[in-house]
Amino acid sequence: MPKFSREEYPPNSNPFDKVCPYCSRAFWTIKPRTIYCSPKCRVYANKKKREAQVAGTAEHKQPHPTQGGSNTVPMITAEGKNMRMVFYDPFDEKLREIDPVGELELRHHSGVAVLSEETLAELYNLRLSSCELRKRNARHVLQEDSIMNHRFLTPQQSRFLAQEQARMEAETQRLRTILQRLDRAKNPSLFDIM
């Protein structure tokens, strides 16, 4: 349970100084993943989030980091050893309009659904923009952690973000190569013909 004074912990412990996002009260905790100062704040905050989701308000969505706002930092969530980075991705909505199930590329390459080059280029451009945003967000969180003397993230979260950044870099290179091939197929130059 979080405590409200550093003196309540043994002198050899290393507690984290945090601020409750619900009541804005400062508190100390030994667990780095503790978010709220009390179970009461946790319950009320989660209830507020659920009500916002049911009501369909945009209160539960995080704004894009370039748009400003209060919740601009991506969050890292974990279930056991599975971690993921959660943030507002404006390209995700457009991707779901084009590819609601997420199988369009696979269906196109297998010959089940043949897409026009314009649709493929739009799909790959949206994916490229989404990957670049994810990579930029991971880099931003790692930089913020280094500014805070590595007290913001656990070592596992830092490793996860570094791996995510490398994975997004590889995916970005793959998508750029595909887009270059599509561009060459659409506009062949004299060097390609010879």
Residue extents of the structural domains in the chain:
1-60, 69-193
Segment 29-35 mean pLDDT: 83
Segment 33-41 mean pLDDT: 88
pLDDT class for 190, splitting at 50, 70, 90?
very low
pLDDT class for 116, splitting at 50, 70, 90?
confident
Please determine, for residue 157, whether its predicted confidence score (pLDDT) is greater than 50: yes
Number of Cβ atoms within 10 Å of the Cβ of 5: 8
Cα–Cα distances (Å) from 26 to 19, 30, 51, 160, in that order, read 4, 14, 26, 28
Please determine, for residue 72, whether its predicted confidence score (pLDDT) is greater than 60: no
The single residue listed with the structure tokens 């989404």 is 130
pLDDT class for 27, splitting at 50, 70, 90?
confident
Q: Give the number of C-alpha atoms closer than 13 A to the C-alpha of residue 155, restricted to the C-beta side.
A: 0
pLDDT digits (tens, 9 = 90+) for 89-104: 788 888 888 877 777 7
